[in-house]
């Protein structure tokens, strides 16, 4: 392990990941506890804590593939590093599925190679070795447990500056004595603040399924999370819930949730890798087929003639529209690559469907009767037509071509909110993306952190 050498520089970036297992705990809650300590020793946060969602197709993720980065200006780096290392070791589910790691970087400017590592971690698979090599080359102190996988997310979180599009989430934490009990929220209050704050909060409630989306369902210590465009709106929405349960506190994270950051890279069908994420311009090359379970399967072809199967899953709510596509329709899809097995090749799991061009389909019909207007019957090849109703005969008329109503429109189709991934950009956020800002926020909203202790 390398040692931090430059003691004169006082910005410390702390990235950590993989502290939880499916059984309990949560990396963001550990971030809440560490932040509480850092604020108590007067460390100055130069940015909100970052909650960075990485490639959602990573097969070994626990839930949402989230990693955390804290950026502080402080004097006593050694004391902080010692405290954080101990917290990660004591606060992780080591041995029960967690492979935690923490990485420290000292300095104002994050090196380009770390930013690039982070960019790729959004859509591809990276190794612990690659992370370790970069950490060593830049004299970064780090600590890893288990198989050390957590290093990938820890380093990627440090390298993610979020200076373009980003969102915020206020996450409220439960006291240990309540964990495992039902989370009680007033649905009407959720619906009300959701309406009042639209479009500045999102994914609060799924109208289609009448389901509250802000509360998780497991035994983890998160009571709820409210997502939105700025720290003020997520905190005030949390307050509007007037929760009865006494909380441990809450913390606002700046995040890439709701930004589609994992779908920014164009995938090439000829070089497609398992677990990758991205988008593809293509056309439909086979008629959509409705599988058992209601999922819709079809083949796509890129503009080099390479084909690949693609599937729209039933819970997305996009299967009706997908089943109306026909060969030749031009689309763009956002997708994740499902690994090939002995039973099937690689398959693209569709996350959004952007219908760009629809082919015209013509039906060939018999002409209408000139006497009564009813559609006529053919008398046989080259024998003309006769009307069933008024018996009018027409030897000269020909079959006519009629443009079929496809009953489908071009445009962007997204899954219903309950099927959104953390990174999915909700439809109303298209056009609301934030423009590049300075390296870090100029100041932080006063009520971004609250602890009951
Ligand atoms: P939660 O959302 O509850 O915090 P999680 O879904 O984030 O849990 P983790 O327990 O953090 O799951 O596991 C994800 C693991 O995958 C971490 O070890 C992380 O370092 C690693 N990882 C993240 N992104 C990549 C990537 N692009 N390539 C390889 N490994 C990755």
Please work out whether the CB of residue 60 comes within 6 Å of at least one atom of ligand 1: yes
Question: 101 forms bridges with which residues in the sheet?
Answer: 17, 144
Q: 226-235, 392-401, 422-431: which has the minimum mean pLDDT? A: 392-401
> Which H or E run contains 39?
helix 27-40
Q: 22-31, 267-276, 282-291, 417-426: which has the minimum mean pLDDT? A: 22-31
Integer angstrom CA distances of residue 427 from 139, 194, 291, 318: 42, 15, 27, 14
Q: Where in the chain is the domain with CATH 3.90.600.20?
A: 170-255
Q: Kindly report the CA angle at 333 between 330 and 335, in degrees rounded to 5?
A: 155
With beta carbons less than 8 A apart as the criterion, state whether 365 and 399 touch.
Answer: yes
Q: List, for residues 170-194, the tens digit of each pLDDT value.
A: 999 999 999 999 999 999 999 999 9
Rounded to a whole number, what is the distance in angstroms from the first to the last CA of the chain? 35
Pairing mode of beta strands 362-365, 400-403? antiparallel
pLDDT of residue 431 exceeding 60: yes
What is the predicted pLDDT for the residue at 194? Answer: 97
Q: Where in the chain is the domain with CATH 3.30.70.2200?
A: 11-161
How would residue 24 be classed by pLDDT, with cut points 50, 70 and 90? low
Q: List, for residues 77-96, the tens digit of each pLDDT value.
A: 999 999 999 999 887 777 77
Q: Is the dihedral of CA 282, 286, 289, 291 positive or negative?
A: negative
Assigned fold of 261-360+405-419: OB fold (Dihydrolipoamide Acetyltransferase, E2P) (2.40.50)
Please work out whether the CB of residue 94 comes within 6 Å of at least one atom of ligand 1: no
Q: List, for residues 309-329, the tens digit of each pLDDT value.
A: 999 999 999 999 999 999 999
Please work out whether the CB of residue 15 comes within 6 Å of at least one atom of ligand 1: no
Say how far apart CA 101 and CA 16 lie, in whole Å: 6
Say how far apart CA 18 and CA 27 lie, in whole Å: 7
Closest ligand 1 atom, residue 98 Cα:
10
Q: Where in the chain is the domain with CATH 2.40.50.1010?
A: 261-360+405-419
Q: Quick one: average pLDDT of 329-355?
A: 97
> Which residues have C-beta within 8 Å of that of residue 57, sequence separation ≥ 6?
275, 276, 277, 336, 337
DSSP notation for 135-200: HHHTT-EEEE-TT-THHHHHHHHHH----SS-EEEEEEEE-GGGTTSPPP--HHHHHHHHHHHTTS
Could you tell me which CATH number the domain at 170-255 has? 3.90.600.20
Please work out whether the CB of residue 126 comes within 6 Å of at least one atom of ligand 1: yes
Separation of CA 151 and ligand 1 centre (Å): 9
pLDDT of residue 51 exceeding 50: yes
Please work out whether the CB of residue 220 comes within 6 Å of at least one atom of ligand 1: no
pLDDT of residue 46 exceeding 70: yes
What is the predicted pLDDT for the residue at 257? Answer: 98
* Token pair in block for residue 122: 């959004």
**Helix runs in 62-161, H state only:** 77-90, 112-121, 128-137, 150-159
Please work out whether the CB of residue 225 comes within 6 Å of at least one atom of ligand 1: no
Q: List, for residues 131-177, the tens digit of each pLDDT value.
A: 999 999 999 999 999 899 999 999 999 999 999 999 999 999 999 99
CATH of 11-161, one of 1.10.150.120, 3.40.50.300, 3.30.70.2200, 3.20.20.70: 3.30.70.2200
pLDDT of residue 217 exceeding 50: yes
């Amino acid at each position: 392990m390398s040692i931090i050498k430059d003691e004169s520089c006082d910005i410390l970036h702390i990235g950590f990941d993989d502290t939880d297992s499916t059984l309990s705990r949560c990396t963001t809650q550990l971030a809440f506890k560490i932040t509480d300590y850092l604020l108590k020793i007067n460390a100055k946060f130069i940015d909100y804590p970052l909650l960075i969602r990485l490639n959602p197709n990573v097969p070994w993720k626990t839930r949402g593939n989230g990693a955390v980065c804290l950026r502080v200006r402080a004097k006593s780096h050694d004391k902080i590093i010692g405290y954080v290392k101990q917290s990660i070791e004591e606060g992780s589910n080591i041995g029960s599925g967690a492979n935690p790691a923490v990485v420290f970087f000292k300095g104002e400017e994050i090196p380009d190679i770390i930013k690039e590592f982070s960019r790729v971690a959004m859509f591809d698979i990276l190794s612990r070795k690659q992370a370790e090599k970069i950490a060593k080359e830049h004299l970064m102190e780090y600590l890893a447990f288990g198989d050390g996988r957590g290093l990938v997310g820890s380093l990627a979180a440090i390298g993610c500056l979020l200076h373009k599009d980003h969102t915020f989430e206020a996450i409220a934490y439960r006291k240990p004595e309540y964990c495992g009990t039902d989370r009680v929220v007033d649905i009407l209050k959720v619906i009300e603040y959701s309406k009042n704050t639209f479009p500045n909060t999102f994914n609060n409630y799924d109208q289609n399924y009448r389901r509250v989306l802000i509360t998780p369902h497991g035994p983890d210590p998160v009571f709820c999370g409210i997502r939105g465009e700025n720290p003020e709106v997520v905190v005030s929405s949390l307050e509007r819930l007037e929760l009865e349960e006494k909380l441990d506190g809450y913390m606002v994270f700046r995040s890439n949730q709701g930004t589609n950051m994992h779908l920014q890279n164009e995938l090439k069908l000829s070089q497609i890798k398992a677990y990758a994420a991205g988008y593809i311009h293509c056309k439909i090359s086979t008629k959509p087929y409705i599988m058992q379970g209601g999922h819709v399967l079809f083949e796509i072809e890129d503009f080099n003639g390479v084909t690949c199967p693609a599937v729209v899953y039933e819970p997305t709510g996009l299967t009706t529209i997908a089943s109306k596509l026909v060969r030749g329709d031009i689309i763009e899809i956002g997708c994740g690559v499902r690994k090939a097995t002995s039973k099937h090749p690689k398959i693209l799991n569709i996350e959004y469907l952007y219908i760009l061009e629809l082919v015209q389909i013509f039906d060939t019909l018999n002409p209408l009767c000139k006497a009564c207007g009813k559609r006529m019957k053919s008398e046989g090849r080259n024998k003309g037509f006769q009307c069933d109703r008024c018996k009018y005969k027409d030897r000269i008329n020909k079959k006519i071509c009629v443009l079929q109503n496809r009953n489908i429109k071009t445009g962007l189709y997204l899954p219903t909110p309950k099927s959104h991934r953390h990174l999915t950009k909700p439809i109303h956020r298209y056009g609301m993306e934030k423009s590049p800002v300075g390296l870090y926020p100029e100041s932080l909203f006063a009520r971004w952190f609250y602890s009951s202790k």
